[in-house]
Structure 1
């Protein structure tokens, strides 16, 4: 294979030799190479296969704009990363890379049959072809399409890497370390401002790296910046997102370029807040749209110059240039002076600057004005082109092994758009430029349009070609979107660029349309005969380039992904052999099995113990909020559905909380400790949500109220003692509180001591039995638990877990928000209209409760179900129908929300949401299951002690 390395060219000089493999074949490159430049140096031009047609693809660009050369890299020890751009992979000793989206090999890919069937799979064919029969989509169509199309394989092993993260602040943040960015950094640093300079490449310099004349200036400028204490320079760092109030997200690649990273972090996530942001991201050269513009060896002229001037690699030995822009001429002039043969410059314009023609002549380069490339010969590599005059005449062929394209420049306005800055169309550039900022941000250099290489392209000037139906002229290289696809979308009625984008998938690939968006806009503009501005512009969204999930997650992986919170009682439960479950972020004891017991047996035993004697339960995970202030009662009166202002100190109340749409979001029993103080409880999973909601209303809707909210969830340990002997257990432990039913009734709270520890003792029950909830400072939780446990031995005390708690509450018909509600349940649907204050003028969600759809008949309502077979336990989530004989697909009228076997009742019980459920009492409904249909009778959702006689023991 012929070497393409040019002696004495580039910046690598006598860099050390680096060994690597690509698709299992060994190669050598130089330290400082990218994988792309190293493979080019070895004569490799085929890098991958396209998404839909599986066409052979080579390099298009040399940087972040690259859409074709997506590579998978294996770094050993489970380190596998797909979909990396070859242009951004730094070469290191032992690098193992392979191509993607091909089988059985890159050179021979059976998927390329799609290319021959291209006329049968145009834009939108998925939606047109695979809609019937509908059932085939999941089982047949989608799996087949995903196997044929797509990107690299997803990693299957856990990620062994670690990631770092930090917050930073600066006065000026500059994104892009090309000449404009470096100048901006020098200027800002002179005023002693704290300056951050970011660049995504391994070497700072941007476009200057491909211009030897600027190397002395570049070296001196970077040296000056490196000595300044107020300047932080971060290379290998991509600013991927621009967020509100000058907040920039960036990822620094720390060790991916090292052969052995050891235990060092792979990447670092920077969260930077800047006083001013300067965007110096430059501009991206546009490809041209002509037949065969995707053949490996056809690439951007600026990329070819970069490979030569930076890496010392020629993209071909005999190159041709197709251009509509002066910069393309300058690029091939630089290549010719380095010894690369340039066979011809094919220029679409009829006239150019005379100086360009003179220099071309001096370099021996033929210039074909008013002409265009209309075809490229070769399948897996370029071996020639066909050119013609703009009117289609004078067709002839030229031999070459690379074709360079210079179609104008597109300023990189991605981060500007992230910040919601406005854009304005520039006829000179044929592109959108930054206009009105939304943040304290400015653009400099080519990013702002202040660069002499503007001049857009009117694609409509390209010559008419023979057999247009068979020609594939690509606009979006990664997603295989052709000029014909854009025209088809317009014919199908798509007039907005957002519709055209989604119909064709143009700009929806991993490169986010960096090289395709403007060409697609101009093609659509020509097809619609409307100016580009009237078609619109697609929205750029973070990330600017794809980032790893690991970098975004940072330390939050494995056990740190979601911190497991444990109550003070957790070690005791573990020692007693509890089986645990996660509830929100809390680890909770689910049940306490004895030897030989499964869950059902253990739960049945625990339930019977609570009903007959006494059970002890760790309720410390309940959310707790202290509400304090002169207006505390007024605040709660506005938040909850029921009245709170007349609640006396020492009393408790069940509180129901709605969203503004009238649907239940949380509930809990809370107590008034003093005229200006309340102790609120929420569900375990709702604590943070409720506190945030209350703070939002307090700060934005009712800032006049004199109220303070404090989360106290972890300040209190809560021991629930439930059962007819509960009072007997704590009688000898409590001081300062009269425990008699007369002095301490149900739904009351008292303060005193237990085991010498201050306590807020609640007389409440979530089981229907006599119950106390002992609130003590968390540091004393285990001490009090142990004392209560010891005192309970004489009374048959039994620990129980969340599963038993669920059964006991279901027997009483008590709901669990989030299980028996699904975000669309109102208090009326749940049978909780008694908890809605009828005389209250307002509360959160009150007006929504009067909406027509909320009071309309046929809403799903919470009811009980008793199966005809008392031993048949329904599956939670099972769908319910009224008529089991109806044809499939059946009309579902609801689903089971809670279902258990009740040891107390000796049968199964269930709660369900059923359309018009309150009107169906006594009716029989049906639950279709695999192999059988279960019948159940509709009853009220209270199965045990409906009179509440057991609350007093």
Structure 2
């Protein structure tokens, strides 16, 4: 017989029918169904094929812990694989296909893998493909020969290639109390906290609150438990201080009581309403957190425990209570605790025949026996299921006597179409583990309980190991009062509960060791990890839980070991002859359940990022500039003429600047005002060189180090008064430098009286360089002279250009006489055009970043290509800036032995001897053998064609630095198919004396 829909019961709307498609075939269900429940109601048992062996698999669980029934949801040409069928709410037009099978779910060619079981055991990929190959592929490794086929077979579902058309949102929320889980404990905690006036967020991953179906037979304050839950939710929903988030999984717990959650907004709809996202990602900052996340039922490990029709007892109860689906007609139970007996009674009331209850314990409680009697079932105490039979559906189980974990006696065969198993419960402590330390083992419950809190959270209900309804409500009441800051509640405040008291503490047996070869017993259903795999890991020395996990892949699938963790550890403990807590457990990491990448990115993708444009942007575009993104800004690359290549354009611009005058937009430089009585002292501590001695209206070049002594950023800082400085930074590092300076003032030197203000967007800037740069300024600047005496190198003056106040500093990045002209951003275009007009008699040219880079490479100036997080001031021959008279950030670490090694890579110049370009990232090698690339002695950081030298040149970082000047080497760039001879020279290619910029 197949599963079927009961005539009544469940939360589904039987008055409406929904059509959906699975593997191209049409099925029907009702509103409220999941894909799993609807397919089960249609008689389906086979949901998927297992990862390694392609064994037929049915439902194991009914929630987020489902490892078998993973499917691919199709929306047009868009595919989303590996979604648990238990988490998909059906809607009209839903289209789904099974996965990990070919050509079909019923007939899967991959099932041949079951014949190679021994070859695919634990660690097979480490062993099988390491040997040499004979025959035509002689000399290669077997892995290399097989890699293509293995990679095609790896994985589960197949991802699509089309762009995701859905929209995603991000939300930030703040609350006094976040309650995760809307079972009895969570609802009670939220109610108490809200009634105390706290702002409460209640998040639950299910569409309908209420928690586990196993307590649905209880009454609370005279109401059925489900009705009490609904009444409580309605009361909370009517309160202004409460936000209810159904279909929301809290998946990560981070420092500062910050939690991440995913709300599935429209997955249950045929199409989103106008403006609705598919998913909404929540970042929640909570004053306190109540963790009421419940528990997961564990499977038992025995031969054939993965056959379709074998499932967790709680899954069968949920299917019945929530969806009105009876999991089988003739049902057996296999358990080591009383709780599973509820399932027997529930299914018997729905019309199923309970063939037997197999209990591993020798003694069964009177309450459990009463439930068995209600179900009309015999109890086989002290027995175990030792095997199953059936192909794509269960037909028969074998039951034998169990003595001290070993199977004895002759098997008794019982015809059944469904076997429910229960190995006890594991509290869902994942969030607490993420936020705290190692979990604690509870011997009575044979489960890990949450660790002691290291953040402001409190646990309640099954999460804390309190599974009974009354205990869960008491937990919730106490937790709500605690997070509300109130007095401990009186017992009279507790709801009145009527329930059947059961002993759910399981016997400490999870894996049955059969005699002989009885078939595979699975621990991790999704990754096909068997009990024998765990024992093999022990035999081969992989006994640490971390090694066990990686060697066998136990708990590494999308379900993250929710059902397999404790049974796997118990098998290893038995193999080692120690206890489970001595074996230990791996720590849980976020996410608790899979999270869509779209939700993590939300609005932050594609062209939705803000474009930062300088005030002169439109002028650049209209003047033929090719714009490209530089950090967060758009800047001109070149102003190309008709038919010009990029190289021809930047060579023309750079040559014209050296010969006459050029102008470049430098508005994007980071600009930070450093003000206050301690500003000079602060800069002395931040920079490697001294700024307290800098005269007013003068500028100085400065270098910053990281705390570890490596170079961080460079730039000029201008002293505008005794207490006012304008710091400039590189475009890319503006935000990082600002953050670092704020960190120093807030944390390291909070006593300094200094104010920081980012003014990067407040100033527009233009740099004028070349022999005629002074002539251009003299023609348009009013209110000040710009001659050599008034405006010497690194001097600053104030004046006006066409009525606009400007500040001019004489400094050079190009090696030519040069000036930076700053004005208010609103006047940037006006001043730029005035400078261009004044430069017409001198044939002024605008130049872009490519020419700017060419000029700086010729001069040997460093930028982010050289200050790459691995170089020191000495590596860049800026050791003259490392003050010996004062401490500064990084000074304590910059003299470490490894940072002073003479063999470190240091800045040099490279000249191509074969007249071909030198690309950034290319390696420098000493051997003339392009076929066999040997040890690299360094790499190119930035290259160009130099119009001043008439050669291709580059800056590079090479071992030994200047000791290699005048020597030959080779550039090796296999990706660009570039190999050729180079000469290593000084990085000061052009005017090393500086006569041009000082003249």
- Is the shorter-chain TM-score for this pair beyond 0.5, marking a shared fold? yes
SS of the residue aligned with 2:934?
coil
Tell me the residue number matched to 2:980: 934
Cα distance between partner residues in 2 of 1:2 and 1:397: 20
Tell me the residue number matched to 1:652: 699
The answer to whether structure 1 residue 340 and structure 2 residue 390 are counterparts is: no
The answer to whether structure 1 residue 873 and structure 2 residue 878 are counterparts is: no
Picking from 413, 416, 432, the partner of 2:432 is 416
The answer to whether structure 1 residue 668 and structure 2 residue 667 are counterparts is: no
Task: From the superposition, tell whether residues 644 and 166 of structure 1 become closer, same or farther in structure 2 (CA, over 3 Å).
Answer: same
The answer to whether structure 1 residue 349 and structure 2 residue 358 are counterparts is: no
Tell me the residue number matched to 1:440: 456
Tell me the residue number matched to 2:966: 922
Map 1:252-291 → 2, pairs under 5 A:
252-263=263-274, 264-291=276-303
Structure 1 residue 79 displacement after superposition: 4.4
Tell me the residue number matched to 1:365: 377
Picking from 507, 532, 545, the partner of 1:484 is 532
User: Contact 2:129 / 2:143 at 8 angstroms: preserved in 1?
Assistant: no
Task: From the superposition, tell whether residues 670 and 522 of structure 1 become closer, same or farther in structure 2 (CA, over 3 Å).
Answer: same
Cα distance between partner residues in 2 of 1:114 and 1:157: 32
User: Contact 1:568 / 1:779 at 8 angstroms: preserved in 2?
Assistant: yes
Tell me the residue number matched to 1:827: 873
Cα distance between partner residues in 2 of 1:137 and 1:663: 44
User: Contact 1:54 / 1:102 at 8 angstroms: preserved in 2?
Assistant: yes
Deviates more, 1:126-135 or 1:719-728: 126-135
Map 1:300-339 → 2, pairs under 5 A:
300-339=312-351
User: Contact 2:777 / 2:786 at 8 angstroms: preserved in 1?
Assistant: no
Tell me the residue number matched to 1:221: 232
Tell me the residue number matched to 2:508: 458
Structure 1 residue 169 displacement after superposition: 2.2
Tell me the residue number matched to 1:841: 886
SS of the residue aligned with 1:624?
strand
Tell me the residue number matched to 2:683: 636
Tell me the residue number matched to 2:121: 122
Map 1:12-161 → 2, pairs under 5 A:
12-76=12-76, 79-131=78-130, 142-161=147-166
Deviates more, 1:490-499 or 1:63-72: 490-499
The answer to whether structure 1 residue 853 and structure 2 residue 898 are counterparts is: yes
Cα distance between partner residues in 2 of 1:769 and 1:443: 69
Picking from 155, 166, 191, the partner of 2:196 is 191
Task: From the superposition, tell whether residues 363 and 456 of structure 1 become closer, same or farther in structure 2 (CA, over 3 Å).
Answer: closer
Tell me the residue number matched to 2:487: none
Cα distance between partner residues in 1 of 2:131 and 2:681: 59
Cα distance between partner residues in 2 of 1:697 and 1:131: 53
Cα distance between partner residues in 1 of 2:15 and 2:215: 18
The answer to whether structure 1 residue 700 and structure 2 residue 753 are counterparts is: no
Map 1:786-797 → 2, pairs under 5 A:
786-797=833-844
The answer to whether structure 1 residue 499 and structure 2 residue 547 are counterparts is: yes
User: Contact 1:372 / 1:463 at 8 angstroms: preserved in 2?
Assistant: no
Structure 1 residue 491 displacement after superposition: 2.2
Cα distance between partner residues in 2 of 1:881 and 1:824: 20
User: Contact 1:623 / 1:682 at 8 angstroms: preserved in 2?
Assistant: yes
Post-superposition Cα deviations, 1:546-604, rounded to whole Å, max 9, x if no partner, equal 111121222222222x3221111111111122111211111111111111111111111
Post-superposition Cα deviations, 1:271-330, rounded to whole Å, max 9, x if no partner, equal 222222111111110011111111122111000111111101112222211111111111
Task: From the superposition, tell whether residues 778 and 929 of structure 1 become closer, same or farther in structure 2 (CA, over 3 Å).
Answer: closer
Picking from 405, 422, 425, the partner of 1:406 is 422
The answer to whether structure 1 residue 686 and structure 2 residue 733 are counterparts is: yes
Tell me the residue number matched to 2:474: none
User: Contact 1:474 / 1:483 at 8 angstroms: preserved in 2?
Assistant: yes
SS of the residue aligned with 2:10?
coil
Post-superposition Cα deviations, 1:834-866, rounded to whole Å, max 9, x if no partner, equal 2222x2231122232221111223211111111
Post-superposition Cα deviations, 1:762-812, rounded to whole Å, max 9, x if no partner, equal 111111111111111111111111111222222111111101111110001
The answer to whether structure 1 residue 168 and structure 2 residue 173 are counterparts is: yes
Cα distance between partner residues in 1 of 2:116 and 2:855: 64
Structure 1 residue 13 displacement after superposition: 5.0
Tell me the residue number matched to 1:177: 182
SS of the residue aligned with 1:53?
coil
Cα distance between partner residues in 2 of 1:460 and 1:40: 27
Structure 1 residue 660 displacement after superposition: 1.7
SS of the residue aligned with 2:125?
helix
Tell me the residue number matched to 1:615: 662
User: Contact 1:179 / 1:207 at 8 angstroms: preserved in 2?
Assistant: no
Cα distance between partner residues in 2 of 1:929 and 1:554: 38
Aligned length: 946
The answer to whether structure 1 residue 472 and structure 2 residue 520 are counterparts is: yes
User: Contact 1:15 / 1:32 at 8 angstroms: preserved in 2?
Assistant: no
The answer to whether structure 1 residue 517 and structure 2 residue 599 are counterparts is: no
User: Contact 1:179 / 1:208 at 8 angstroms: preserved in 2?
Assistant: no
Structure 1 residue 886 displacement after superposition: 9.3
Cα distance between partner residues in 2 of 1:129 and 1:744: 75
User: Contact 2:344 / 2:372 at 8 angstroms: preserved in 1?
Assistant: no
Task: From the superposition, tell whether residues 732 and 888 of structure 1 become closer, same or farther in structure 2 (CA, over 3 Å).
Answer: closer
User: Contact 2:300 / 2:511 at 8 angstroms: preserved in 1?
Assistant: no
The answer to whether structure 1 residue 558 and structure 2 residue 606 are counterparts is: yes
User: Contact 1:389 / 1:463 at 8 angstroms: preserved in 2?
Assistant: no
Cα distance between partner residues in 1 of 2:41 and 2:605: 40
Cα distance between partner residues in 2 of 1:438 and 1:750: 57
User: Contact 2:2 / 2:328 at 8 angstroms: preserved in 1?
Assistant: no
Picking from 822, 836, 840, the partner of 1:775 is 822
Cα distance between partner residues in 2 of 1:939 and 1:88: 65
SS of the residue aligned with 1:667?
strand
Using the size of structure 1 for normalisation, the TM-score is 0.96
Structure 1 residue 141 displacement after superposition: 5.1
User: Contact 2:635 / 2:849 at 8 angstroms: preserved in 1?
Assistant: yes
Structure 1 residue 82 displacement after superposition: 1.7
Structure 1 residue 138 displacement after superposition: 9.2
Task: From the superposition, tell whether residues 581 and 141 of structure 1 become closer, same or farther in structure 2 (CA, over 3 Å).
Answer: farther
Unpaired segments ≥5 residues, structure 2: 133-138, 218-223, 469-502
Structure 1 residue 127 displacement after superposition: 2.8
User: Contact 1:874 / 1:896 at 8 angstroms: preserved in 2?
Assistant: yes
